[in-house]
Amino acid sequence: MAVIEIADLSKRLGREPDAFRLSVTSFALQEHEELAITGSSGTGKSTFLNLIAGIIAADAGRITVCGVEMTALPESERDMLRARHIGLVYQTFNLLQGFSALENVVLGSAFGGKLKGAHQRSRELLQQLGLGTKLHKRPRELSVGEQQRVAVARALVNSPDLLLADEPTANLDEHNAATVLTSLRDLARESGAALLLVTHDTRIKELLPPAIDIGSLFAVAAE
């Protein structure tokens, strides 16, 4: 079964007179599949993930996620589908600074409506990621690599069907980049989630899942 199915997708990038348009004729990601999309910055990779997650709306075409046509839903229902079925790892972490590492992960459960057992699941994930002694530290008290591992735990706490990672190693040194990517892939496999990540980080090429260049996936053309 396909976790993601895309047909004839189109999205204008920007409002300027010289704006570009992202076009994807066909794309699919199957259950438990891992895929990396590589390419330089500014080529539409993050926009592509945001379209799949329903954070932004397509101009035309169809995106189906977990059997539901995302592009046919109003924003509130896209938000609910994302909370229940998709885990997101952001380049900028997006942690809540006033809350501890544990609280940030537990809040991920709240958004997905899966509060039962949330504290236990959150603790276990953070311990698996080597943060068992940092549960009550706030983001500013953690290293950059530790913050990204908290973000990985938050994305996985609801056992999503689909895990999307947007440049998950871009802000990390090479050692932390390797640690985060390896943990991300291992935990995705353990949870049974399909994994789609985008990156321009050439340092970690040998650690990536099967990869395709952005140019072979979609066209970005002038209006």
Q: Return the higher-pLDDT residue of 89 and 215.
A: 89
Domains located in the chain, CATH noted: 33-57+69-211 (3.40.50.300)
- Is pLDDT of 222 > 60? no
Residue 8 binned pLDDT confidence (cut-offs 50, 70, 90): very high
Task: Tell me the CA distances in angstroms from 43 to 13, 48, 110, 143, 209, one per residue in order.
Answer: 10, 10, 34, 29, 20
Q: How confident is the model over 120-145, as a mean pLDDT?
A: 96
pLDDT in tens, 54-92: 999 999 999 999 999 999 999 999 998 998 899 999 988
Q: Look at residue 128 in the predicted model and tell me its pLDDT.
A: 95
- The pLDDT mean for the chain works out to 91
Q: Are 131 and 149 in contact (CB under 8 A)?
A: yes
- Is pLDDT of 112 > 90? no
